[in-house]
Amino acid sequence: MAALLAAGDVLADKTISAFVRRTVARAFAVVVTLFARFVTAVRGTWVGNEPSRKRRIYFANHTSHGDFILIWIVLPPRLRRKTRPVAASDYWLKSKLRSFIGRDVFHAVLIDRNKETRTEDPIALMQDAVDRGASLILFPEGRRNDTDAPLLPLKAGIYNLAVSRPHIELVPVWIENLNRVMPRGEFIPVPLMCTVTFGPTMQVAEGEAVDAFIARARDALLALKPARNGSAAS
Amino acid sequence: MNIHPDLLNLLMGIGAILVVASIAGYVLQQRFSPDGSNSAIENLNERIRAWWVMAVLLAIAFIGGRAGVILLFGFCSFAALREFLTLTNARRADHWSLVAAFFVVLPYQYYLVWVNWYGMYSIFVPVYVFLLLPIVSAMRGETEDYLVRIAEVQWALMICIFCASFVPALLNLDIPGFEGRNVLLIAFLIVVVQLSDVLQYVWGKLIGKRKIAPRLSPSKTVEGFVGGVLSATLIGACLWWMTPFTFPQAGLLAFIIAILGFFGGLVMSAIKRDRGVKDWGHVIAGHGGFIDRLDSVVFSAPIFFHLVRYFWSVDLPA
């Protein structure tokens, strides 16, 4: 662990050549990917949709820090490179190692969730990334869901982004089981099978109000949640 | 590294069968499904490809000897446990029991098999883990569905770790005149079980009419069961030359293995139906998950082990 942190310090040093940084980041991505596959055997399924090179906004339920990694893994490798997760800078800039993982390994678009102190508008940052040709992975719940409810209320940011960039397709994504792999506050993952389900593309309709769209997005997400019986409680 | 000629013969025989199967699959595809539209034929070819992978992995493990076999089945246990626990009610309060199951119980059981400590690997999971793991879950104070949760975890450990580890444990048997060839016992077990599965499927497709357990496994028929078990028994008997058994002994053991394998498949199907899933997982194309492929092996391995140990082995305590 100490070695990792030290490595993080070295890599965060701006004087290290960009080439070394990029190489280490690539290697790191491979290791993270292999580890995630080992633990979750994750499989992606596309329901009424296909992988596409078009710019897209994948919006998903959020239960774990590993969520975007799973989505990233199940995307075809060609699409991976131009797909950037949108993540909270208050988490990902906390240490040099995290910042290396967030920025260099996964090219995250880092946004500040704190309205009082932030200097840059999150929507503007996302618009900028999209305008440069990236697809985004977005978690519209705004924070990790560790309640028993399947989904927290969605924030309006995704609506504002979609309205300002109307040609971009929105793809609902449901991540199943990752919250059981690594519940909040635990640090050793339990290997369990995870699935990532991509649903049909959607867009904001002409003149659609924010509440109506958010309700539709929520339904689109919940529709992808696998039904499974066998719960002892039911 | 020395490969016993019997093992080589067997591996070449399996290779020849798979070559024939691949050619047959290719011809069927060319004739009936050139555009990939016949799902039965596509599934057959997927299965044959997966069989190749499994056969090659087994061959590598066999040639790798003791370490290879233990590593392979240790990984199978890991993958099976990952699938099984996914379908259980385990929740946050069980996190540490599950971590212990994967990262302590599983490696330790295979370590015990590796060092050949029979007195421990035959009771570690059914006695020690059975008693200790519920304590770990109880410490978190979550009582809802407690009995269901600990029972499910114990069942998962018995099936996926304990029973599966008896396949490599066959290497530990000390059979006079059979030294250095124990890997062929594993080959015998696996060939008989898997051929029995395949032949039940084939007989069922050819002449199957009466369903044997419509609620558990709608595709299994009486005709498939009888035909599959009898032909697997015959093939098992014909493999006597690579075992310490005589022709009728090999046939009897093959019969027991095939029967247990069949009912093992039914039991695991009952669990799947209860949980509302068709397959245990999605890792092996055409077959589903690891448990879908291992269920019959897991049910027959411990009993095959104990029968051979009791009647053929000399390491019984005086």
Q: Which residue of B has its CA nearest to A231?
A: B89
Token readout for B39 is 């799902």
Q: pLDDT by residue (tens digit) across A168-178?
A: 999 999 999 88
- By three-state DSSP, how is residue B145 classified? coil
Where are the domains positioned within chain A? 2-222
For residue B261, the 8-state DSSP code is: H
Band of pLDDT at residue A14, cut at 50, 70 and 90: low
Cβ neighbours of B282 in A, within 8 Å: 41, 43, 193, 195
Q: How far apart are the first and last CA of chain A?
A: 43
Cβ neighbours of B99 in A, within 8 Å: 188, 190
pLDDT at A230: 42
Q: Does residue B290 sit at the A interface (CB-CB below 8 Å)?
A: no
Work out the mean pLDDT of chain B and round it to a whole number: 91
pLDDT at B314: 80
pLDDT tops 60 at residue B1: no
Higher per-residue pLDDT: B224 or B317: B224
Q: Does residue B142 sit at the A interface (CB-CB below 8 Å)?
A: no
Q: What architecture is domain A2-222? A: 3-Layer(aba) Sandwich (3.40)
User: Does A192 contact B86 at a Cβ distance shorter than 8 Å?
Assistant: yes
pLDDT at A234: 31
Largest CA distance in chain A: 58
Closest CA–CA distance from residue B211 to any residue of chain A (Å): 25
Task: Write out residues 31-50 of B within 8 Å (CB-CB) of A.
Answer: none
User: Does B276 contact A229 at a Cβ distance shorter than 8 Å?
Assistant: yes
**Rounded mean pLDDT, A195-220:** 93
pLDDT at A231: 42
CA angle A192, B104, A175 (to 5 degrees): 15
Closest CA–CA distance from residue B295 to any residue of chain A (Å): 18
d(Cα A14, Cα A100) in Å, to the nearest integer? 11
User: Does A190 contact B102 at a Cβ distance shorter than 8 Å?
Assistant: yes
Candidates B136, B152, B129; CA nearest to B93 is B136
- By three-state DSSP, how is residue B239 classified? coil
pTM recorded for the entire structure: 0.89
Q: Does residue B74 sit at the A interface (CB-CB below 8 Å)?
A: no
d(Cα B296, Cα B278) in Å, to the nearest integer? 17
How many helices and strands, by DSSP H and E, does chain B display? Answer: 12, 0
Nearest to A230 among B78, B275, B283 (CB): B275
Backbone angles phi and psi of B210, in degrees to 5? -85, 125
Q: Given the cut 0.90, state whether the ipTM is greater than it.
A: no
d(Cα B162, Cα B123) in Å, to the nearest integer? 9
pLDDT at A16: 64
